Structure 1
Amino acid sequence: MTEPRTETVTLNGRPFFLRHWGNERLPKLLLLHGFPEFGGAWADLAPLLAHRFHCIAPDQRGYGQSWAPEAVSDYATPKLVSDMAALIGDAPFAVLGHDWGAAVAYGLAISRPDLVSRLIIMNGVHPVPFQRALAAGGAQAEASQYIHYLRAEGSEQKLARDGFAKLLAMFSANMDTGWLSGATRDAYVAAWSGPGRLRGMVNWYRASPLVVPKAGGSIKMPDLPLEKLQVRCPHLLIWGADDRALLPEATAGLEEFAADLTRVEIPGTDHWLHHQKPQEVARAILDWFPDR
């Protein structure tokens, strides 16, 4: 496996840990991990893209070896987006986001379209289709009940007990985590074990404005500024259809917010598709980009 180059940089006055794959003269591709991963989550996929891109994978705020403030307010979406906007700088990047990394990737594409040339999302959701699916109740709302558990005060202590047994169980619930073993598992446990890291990770859920109805219920759809939530750049959505946390209904109507949308499904994968079939995911990405 190709080992990345690593460095710590200062973004908005705070330290962030980065991993790099590929020649720095190549077009840049920003890789944004989700929960409960870290920048090392891209170790299977990034080497397959490194001949075409300079892949940059940060540990996002609260994760791994990056800054992990304690306050919930420090994890508001605009602050998370600001971190990555500072990393990108002035010239636009292609951006790939998975899970919660998709929330930051969408935030960048929507609020800072000058910084995102092309957007790739893997099993992540645009805020409007996801909130619509949750508000309606039903399968997606049931699948998202774990969010209430994570938002509760003290959840990080429960997740950490007995060698992160609860977190590992949540990670693998009804999905294939055969890839999470040996040195890979050790790296994840090390990333979770840093001071304040687990609280920082869970604070992403606490700070989110997402409204999740109680089990068996539904809610009125919150009023969202639909016209301000458009993705103007070319957008690729790669999906593992066996995902049990994010269901297909969570992306229903995405075309309303992304006029230039391409959907690709990777058969036989779930939420962890970039670990399960990295070759197929890499091919979908490379085929979507225009020839240089």
Structure 2
Amino acid sequence: MAKAQVNGQTISYDVQGSGPPLLLLHGFPQTRAMWARVAPVLAESFTVITADLRGYGDSSKPEGVAAYSFREMGRDMLELMAHLGHERFALAGHDRGARTAHRMALDAPESLTQIALLDIIPTHLLLNKLTTQVAKAYYHWFFLAQPAPFPETLIGHDPDHYFESCLTGWGSNVLADFAPEQLAAYRESWRRPETISAMCNDYRAALEYDFILDEADLGRQLPIPALILYGADGPMAKAYDIPATWQPHFANITSQPMAGGHFFPDTAPADTAQALLSFFLP
């Protein structure tokens, strides 16, 4: 593990392989360990950087909701890649990492050669046209966004129970589908009170800041080649035509359903790595 001081934060990251730079960003409630069985395959062709988002894993955890906008998270990663000597790079993100990646594409499109978004629909669409089906499946968006210390207190009573219910609740997975060493890394992170607070602030920021930021960018269609991967059995695929939700945002889209639910990078790492390789390789 290495650490870099960027954008006023300490960002933890790992680097492996050689070739063109490729940044991988994890989602909630995970850490960069999410890529443990994907990154080595990609590293045969790329210089792969896996990083903990601010508030997660071993990265710093600033105070305040505003610190957790996807814009601030994205700035961390843009500065990290510049710190490592990569002014232009390919980018893949899952869940919150994918939302951070989308904001990076909006704020610094010149920095990205390609982008892969894994199992999300646009943040503004989800919040602006919320359906009862999605509200039931993704209730955590609104639970975690409640004022402190309400969700922090309830989650802190038994973090493993709460976060493992998330891992197994969005696509009919069981804990046995997750690699033990990756689960251990997630548990080590989410058992820390400061991580729980940071993750809640991440979701508070989505409602208080990111929705407004995204609304200002509606109508922008980016030319960056985009790959949309989604869990065929996940809540988003059941509620939306996921590739169609991204058509207004990217002019050049490739899409592919993946076996499993929301956490297919954990539960189907070989297939995930192959799908990413097929897209990112020239």
**Under TM normalisation by the shorter chain, which class is it?**
0.7 to 0.9
Residue 35 of structure 1: SS of its match in structure 2?
coil
Which runs of structure 1 show a deviation greater than 6 angstroms over 4 or more consecutive aligned residues?
none
SS in 2 for 1:196: helix
- What's the secondary structure of 2:235's corresponding residue? coil
Q: Which residue identity lines up with residue 176 of structure 2 in the other structure?
A: G
Instruction: Tell me the CA shift for residue 51 of structure 1.
Output: 0.3
Question: What per-residue deviation string (whole Å, max 9, x for no partner) do you get for residues 3-24 of structure 1?
Answer: xxx201111232111012213x
Judging changes above 3 Å, is the alpha-carbon distance between structure 1 residues 245 and 192 closer, same or farther for their aligned structure 2 residues? farther
Measure, in 2, the Cα distance between the counterparts of 1:10 and 1:201: 21
Partner of 2:3: 8
State how many pairs are aligned: 270
Pairing partner for 2:52 from 45, 48, 59: 59
Partner-residue secondary structure (3-state), 2:207: coil
| 201-210 vs 57-66, which moves further | 201-210
CA distance 1:105–1:223, change in 2 (3 Å): closer
2:207 is the counterpart of 1:209: yes
Q: How does 1:180-191 map to 2 (within 5 A)?
A: 180=178, 182-191=180-189
Shift of 1:159: 1.6
- Deviation digits for residues 212-251 of structure 1 (CA, Å, limit 9, x no counterpart): xxxxxxxxxx9654223x3320000111111136645173
Q: Does 1:148 align with 2:142?
A: yes
User: In structure 2, the residue corresponding to 1:242 is in which secondary structure?
Assistant: coil
Aligned residues of 1:243 and 1:269 also touching (Cα < 8 A): yes
CA-to-partner distance for each residue in 1:86-136, whole Å, 9 max, x for gaps? 1122621100010011111001111100111100011122234434542xx
Matched, 1:242 2:240: no
Q: TM-score, normalised to structure 1's length?
A: 0.85
* Counterpart for residue 18 of structure 1: 13
Question: How far does residue 36 in structure 1 lie from its aligned partner after superposition?
Answer: 0.3
Map of 2:163 onto structure 1: 167
CA distance in 1, matches of 2:256, 2:279: 10
In structure 2, C-alpha distance between the alignment counterparts of 1:157 and 1:232, rounded to whole Å: 44
Partners of 1:46 and 1:223 in 2: CA distance: 33
Q: Residues 273 and 223 of structure 1: is their aligned pair in 2 closer, same or farther, counting only changes over 3 Å? A: closer
CA 1:138–1:95: 2 relative to 1, 3 Å: same
Q: Which has the higher helix share?
A: 2
**Which protein is bigger by CA-based radius of gyration?**
1
- More deviation in 179-188 or 193-202? 179-188
> Which residue of structure 2 aligns with residue 33 of structure 1?
26
Going from structure 1 to structure 2, the CA distance change for 1:132 and 1:72 (only over 3 Å counts) comes to closer
Q: 1:255 aligns with which of 225, 247, 250?
A: 247
Structure 2 CA distance for partners of 1:284 and 1:182, relative to 1, 3 Å? closer
Q: Is the 8 A contact 2:31 2:185 kept in 1?
A: no
Percent identity, aligned pairs only? 27
SS in 1 for 2:87: coil
| Distance in 2 separating the partners of 1:150 and 1:245 | 19
CA contact (8 A) 2:65 2:205 kept: yes
1:245/1:158 Cα in 2 relative to 1: closer, same or farther (>3 Å)? Answer: farther
Distance 1:245 1:155, change over 3 A: farther
Letter in 2 for 1:110: L
State TM-score, norm by structure 2. Answer: 0.87
Tell me how far 1:146 sits from its aligned partner: 2.4
Aligned AA (1:78): R
Question: Where does structure 1 lack aligned partners over 5 or more consecutive residues?
Answer: 1-5, 212-221
Distance 1:58 1:223 in 2: 27
